[in-house]
Amino acid sequence: MKTLKIGWAGLGNMGTPMALNILKAGYELTVYNRNKNKEQELTAAGAGAVNSLQELASHCDIIFTMLSDDTAVKSVYNENDGLLSGTKAGMLLIDMSTVAPETSRYLAAQCKTKQVAFIDAPVSGSVQPAKEGKLIILAGAELQDFEKAKPILDVLGKLALHLGPVGAGSSAKVAINYLLGINIQAMAETVLFAEQNGISKEDMLTIINEGACGNGIIKLKTPAVLADNYPPAFALKYIVKDLKLAKEAGLKSPLSEPLLNTFEAAAADGLGEEDLMAVIKYLKQH
């Protein structure tokens, strides 16, 4: 058992496999989730569990958070009954959620008042890479804090990049998710256009994937398009959130507005809980 005591708050589709990898690497792990049922897989594997964020903070040296949005993250970090109500000087808090760069800088400032270090470390990759420990980790931090965290980050991902000060990780994440959105919508539009002109989706996807236009995300989503079935590896509602974050961070490129409009409309059409590739169903009907 390694000596650092690690805490984890937020056990959703991404947080659970990531926390399991920390446990498998030999770290002492304690978890907290508001829905206690979501702790069961971790506790069955050997993790401890606590009943409050304050208790989690008082028990651990390093705490990871993986939450759905800015509001949830700020709530978990708050000074009244959140993590910052129980931290000790010298601790390290690492947020792996996708939030606005400004939110990451706000959290760092709040941590600094408690003499606690902070890293924003969102990830590029979805559920399967999380399970395999093959995420790409995009970190914004003081260099010494990043170096302290890197052995654990290396458990979670195949690559951990120090991109600059706090906020840089979040900036990189909204940028890469903008490209993700473009790829997904372009794939959907191309397949539908080909079908309108008598080319099967099977043939069109073969042309894409065997040629220079193929890429990792298109190959990953090809089986879902062929089966017309979209279980949420990355729910469509989250790409809407991330495109809005990019807009708030200053993205004004020609494709950004129609891209956000399309995904917003697809979510409003009832597709928000399906994988973002389900945008093809919306485009087919409109």
Calpha distance 214→206 (Å, rounded): 9
User: What type of residue sits at position 46?
Assistant: G
Options 114, 173, 221, 281, the catalytic residue: 173
The answer to whether residue 173 is catalytic is: yes
Ordered DSSP codes for 87-154: --TT-EEEE-S---HHHHHHHHHHHHHTT-EEEE--EE--HHHHHHT-EEEEEBS-HHHHHHHHHHHH
Residues for the chain: how many in total?
286
Q: Which residue has the tokens 């990871």?
A: 64
Alpha carbon of 67 to those of 13, 64, 138, 153: distances in Å? 10, 10, 16, 17
Active site residues: 173
